[in-house]
Amino acid sequence: MSDSSVAIAIRDLVKRYAPVKGKGGRAGQGGAGQGAEGKLALGGVSFDVPQGQIFGLLGPNGAGKSTLINIMAGLVMKTSGTVEIWGHDIDRDSRNAKASIGIVPQEIVFDPFFTPFEVLENQGGLWGVPKALRRSEELLKAVHLADKRNAYSRSLSGGMKRRLLIAKAMVHSPPILVLDEPTAGVDVELRRQLWELVSELNHQGVTVVLTTHYLEEAEELCDRIAIINHGQLITNRPTRELVEMTREKILLLTLDRDIGDLPSHPAFVKCRKAGERVLEITYDKDRVTAGEVLGQVQAQGFVIVDVSTQEPDLEDVFVQLTSDREAA
Ligand SMILES: Nc1ncnc2c1ncn2[C@@H]1O[C@H](COP(=O)(O)OP(=O)(O)OP(=O)(O)O)[C@@H](O)[C@H]1O
Ligand SMILES: [Mg+2]
């Protein structure tokens, strides 16, 4: 890998799932778009995950998030492109690539008859971690399950199971932790606890990649956010920058007469005619108040008949970015 500050480097990643054949195929897996060619789940995706960050991978259902993660985990075969994990190519050096990453899958799966301690010990054994170097107790403490050490895993609540899965992903001390929808279906309180756990691990130096549908979660946790839709990367930028996009507010003004010259002001990000007599002004709410915007328009001789506002948030940016791509 050329840049040592990169944890994961993905280049031109393509995944086309084989077409589902006849009745023996997997029902419900492809749906629309699953033609004779199969389903194009990733259409050439490239991006880097910087070391030491919490990186959010966002996108609607079926966008390709799990496909991407499962390729990193070595669970799904890519069609073409390259993936380097901690400098190790997943084809040429799959052993080291796999050892550098801990994956928490979207579905909760483990043998319900093992205790949390046994789950971690077994996993340590699978990774070939010598008994003396296993961190099962430490990991149970880290995920706040020390008191459940000897309980049956099936008796754990959903949130506890997810925490155990995080510990399980960390038994071989990988520098990267990947969580596929860690908080799906988890209540608000438990979600907070998981966020804290992920932040703690990150403070200890672990690079974290997570997928989520919750924009609030991405905004709170992630240093950087990539959005994918229909297997294409739509944006990849610091969370701060994405949220900045939401600093913009929109005023829709109905005026008393047809609009000739558009009013202008340095704090107007955009000003356009949304109808004969309707003006849409996008402005930076940190630089100008709604009152000042109205004042500017009035100062140019217009009478304002009606006013309505729109305040975008990260969700709007998300919808805007994903629908722009659809329209294109
Ligand atoms: N094993 C498979 N065989 C065929 N198609 C698949 C398979 N797995 C996933 N797909 C298809 O690939 C596309 C991407 O699916 P993927 O699971 O990666 O999406 P996702 O972004 O993780 O969605 P979600 O948010 O619902 O978890 C979907 O259209 C899905 O139906
Ligand atoms: Mg998924």
Local confidence pLDDT in tens for the 328 residues of the chain = 446 699 999 999 999 999 877 644 444 444 445 567 889 999 999 999 999 999 999 988 899 999 999 999 999 999 999 999 999 999 999 999 999 999 998 888 777 789 999 999 999 999 999 999 999 999 999 888 999 999 988 889 888 888 899 999 999 999 999 999 888 777 788 888 888 989 999 999 999 999 988 888 888 899 999 999 999 999 999 998 887 777 778 899 999 988 888 888 888 888 999 988 999 998 888 888 889 999 989 988 889 999 998 766 667 777 777 776 555 5
CATH code for the part of the protein at 50-76+89-237: 3.40.50.300
The amino acid at residue 233 is L
CA 159 to chain centre: 20
Q: Is 212 in the pocket of ligand 1 (CB under 6 A)?
A: no
pLDDT for res 233: 95
If DSSP codes are grouped into helix, strand and coil, which group holds residue 324? helix
Return the beta strands (E) in 113-242 as ranges. Answer: 176-180, 207-212, 224-229, 232-238
Q: Is 30 in the pocket of ligand 1 (CB under 6 A)?
A: yes
Rounded distance from Cα 93 to ligand 2 centre (Å): 26
Residue whose C-alpha is closest to residue 94's, from 71, 117, 69, 116: 71
Q: Is 57 in the pocket of ligand 1 (CB under 6 A)?
A: no
Residue whose C-alpha is closest to residue 11's, from 21, 23, 3: 3
Largest pairwise CA distance in the chain = 81
The DSSP bridge pattern shows strands 224-229 and 80-85 to be unpaired
pLDDT for res 245: 72
Rounded distance from Cα 199 to ligand 2 centre (Å): 22
pLDDT for res 324: 60
In ligand 1, the atom with minimum distance to the C-alpha of 17 is: 4
Return the beta strands (E) in the chain as ranges. Answer: 6-17, 39-50, 54-58, 80-85, 88-89, 101-104, 176-180, 207-212, 224-229, 232-238, 248-255, 268-273, 278-284, 304-310
Q: Is 153 in the pocket of ligand 1 (CB under 6 A)?
A: no
C-alpha dist (Å) from residue 208 to 70, 102, 164, 222, 256: 15, 10, 17, 9, 54
pLDDT for res 12: 98
The protein residue with its alpha carbon nearest to ligand 1, atom 12, reads 41
Q: Which of 67, 77, 181, 213 to mutate to test the pocket of ligand 1 (most atoms within 8 A of CB)?
A: 67
Contact of 325 with 65, CB cutoff 8 Å: no
CATH code for the part of the protein at 244-317: 3.30.70.1560
Contact of 218 with 246, CB cutoff 8 Å: no
Domain boundary assignment for the chain: 50-76+89-237, 244-317
pLDDT for res 25: 43
Q: Which helix (H) or strand (E) holds 241?
A: helix 239-244
pLDDT for res 32: 46
Rounded distance from Cα 289 to ligand 2 centre (Å): 41
